[in-house]
Structure 1
């Protein structure tokens, strides 16, 4: 049935579905960033924190923040295309 929907889905509907999916991914990534920031803060607040763990989490955080920026830019571009063409 999903294959049938794809066959009959208009390009605008497909782009709107992709935008909705992108918004969900952006929210998920944003939630993960907040969780990592909290975890890093907690670790730094401990006496004698494990710097290797903190460093690894900070690297992961930087990577997620970069991915989030790219996702937001892609979504913005897609939403512009939708608003201009649909």
Structure 2
């Protein structure tokens, strides 16, 4: 029960970070904020997959899918960092 609450709080936290970063991007128009907001939105999806994997359908292993989604989130942030370093 506690694990489910923690997973849900992780989803909410990632979405809140994404929202705040996107709002800051709309005010300042700094591209790195956009990439960070997108990264946290994808990480929220990864956290949602974790919740589905471990709480809702524990008999189905979604580790590979979760790992791919997390990798995509980090690649988005890395791409933004490299792109904005020029």
> Are 2:3 and 1:25 equivalent residues in the alignment?
yes
Moved runs in structure 1, 4+ residues, more than 4 A? none
Alpha-carbon RMSD: 1.9
Structure index of larger Rg: 1
Structure 1 residues 7-86: aligned runs within 5 Å: 23-46=1-24, 47=27, 48=29, 50-74=33-57
Structure 2 residue runs of 5 or longer lacking an equivalent are: 60-86
Q: C-alpha offsets along residues 41-77 of structure 1, whole Å, 9 cap, x if unaligned?
A: 11111212512111211121111001111222246x7
Greater RCO structure (CA 8 Å; 6+ sep): 1
Q: TM-score normalized by structure 1? A: 0.53
Structure 1 residue runs of 5 or longer lacking an equivalent are: 1-22, 78-86
